[in-house]
Amino acid sequence: MTGKTAFETRYGFRRNEVLLANWRENPFNRWSFQNLGELVPTARVAAASGVVEVPVRDMGGLLGEKVSVGGAPETVAEFLVRSSADALTVMKGGKFIGDWFAPHMDFGARHIIFSISKSLTAIVAGILEGEGVFDPEAPVTAYIPEAAGSAYGDASVRHVLDMSVSLDFEEAYLDPESTFARYRRATLWNPGGGTESLREFILTLQRLAEPHGQTFRYRSPNSDLLGLLLERASGQRFADLMREKLWLPLGALSEASIGVDMEGTARTAGGISVTPRDLARVGEMMRQGGTANGRRIVPEAWVRDTTSTGGSADAWQRGAMLPLFPKGRYRNKWYQTGLPSGAYCGIGIHGQWLYVDPKTEVVIAKMSSQPEPVDDPLDVEIVAFFEALSRMV
């Protein structure tokens, strides 16, 4: 009898069981979220080379500390397991103080961050805005004239950045017959793709009767459109923009990647994969007001607007994510929590988080393979966990 392969022993299934039809499902996502490029086309985003990092595994005993975020007290390590975490990296005052990994993920491995991709894409938009190349108040059609017949025909770039486009679209992650499923086929993330590009799909979307700008509506095509806007404004492919404007100046030490469609259009709404350490570096750059390694990357005014002063409280109050952050706001693809700490974050489905607490100077990157794309009760617990962890370190 043939024994189990090393792959099967580690992950609990065979590699040939992971398919385009099931890669986001448990348990297959424990592997696929670290290996997107074996399932869909991706573009490389090069990083600085020649530096070898070493994990900080102890976390100063934090893993054994108790937290109470879901009822009964549990240790930090127990919560990480319960929340299907794959990796956790913590920074304090600009220094790495801990790295935790599940048995199926190695230090230095890349992991898809899903909608935190939106937050990184918006940083690139902020950089181009600071260079005078990109105008957030311009109409979408100033950059993409062919959007005139779509929902975006009378929308501004600001509406796109703040998710306030009055878009007739639902994030129906689990409905195989929905427009969302057609969207995923256009990104090549579902079987049957390759007949319609992402750009073509987006420009078929229509608007609701409500004016733009009134309600926060979380609609991922807005963020893929943002990538197209940046490409039109700059004349560069998004992967090249990200490398030149963000990844190399940041001092990221590992190559990133981003999914692309049949035309090479980047999946800026959710297709970026990075290491936990490099994701934490993005959060630390934001905490430092847009600088890293003594170098200005994005204007300080843009960071301040994004993380604390900008965004419509009224639009957020009308939106569907109010229970997560009752006093929150959304600006430039980042969430302002409204918590006393002034914390802000990027969030991705299946449990991806980049959490910045400016009061405690803590940055937390959490990557996960949660079985469900959205788990609202668990999200509330995770925020409470981050608050507790930020006070502990």
CA 124 to chain centre: 14
Q: Is residue 53 part of a domain?
A: no
7-27 average pLDDT score: 97
% the chain with pLDDT above 90: 94
Q: Report the chain's C-alpha Rg in angstroms.
A: 20
For residue 266, pLDDT beyond 80: yes
Q: What is the pLDDT of residue 1?
A: 46
- Cβ atoms of 314 and 292 closer than 8 Å: no
Helix axes 116-130, 276-287, angle to 10 degrees: 50
State the DSSP code for 247: I
Specify the amino acid at residue 287: R
Report if residue 17 sits inside a domain. no
**Residue 118 belongs to a domain with what CATH number?**
3.40.710.10
Residue 164 lies in a domain: yes
CA dihedral over 211, 268, 338, 291, signed as positive or negative:
negative
DSSP H helical ranges for 169-299: 179-186, 198-202, 221-234, 238-241, 248-250, 276-287
The structural domain count of the chain equals 1
Would you please indicate which residues are annotated as catalytic (active-site) residues? Answer: 115
> What average pLDDT does the structure give for the chain?
96
Instruction: Name the residue among 345, 366, 353, 382 with its Cα closest to residue 69.
Output: 382
216 lies in which domain range?
Answer: 92-392
What percentage of the chain reaches a pLDDT higher than 70? 99
- pLDDT: is 171 or 311 the higher one? 311
Please report whether residue 261 resides in a domain.
Answer: yes
Cα 284 to Cα 58, 133, 293, 354, distances in angstroms: 21, 25, 11, 10
pLDDT of residue 2: 64
Which pLDDT belongs to residue 177? 82
Cβ atoms within 10 Å, residue 10:
14
Residue 379 within a domain: yes
| Residue 238 domain flag | yes
User: Can you tell me the mean pLDDT for 120-144?
Assistant: 98
> pLDDT (tens digit, 9 = 90+) per residue, 321-369?
999 999 999 999 999 999 999 999 999 999 999 999 999 999 999 999 9
Instruction: Give the position of tokens 């390590």.
Output: 77
In a domain, 1, yes or no: no
Q: CA 32, CA 100: separation in Å to the nearest integer?
A: 19
For the whole model, what pTM was predicted? 0.97
Question: CB 360: neighbour CB atoms within 10 A?
Answer: 17
Average pLDDT, stretch 249-265? 97
Phi, psi of 202 (to 5 degrees): -60, -40
In this structure, is residue 50 part of a structural domain? no
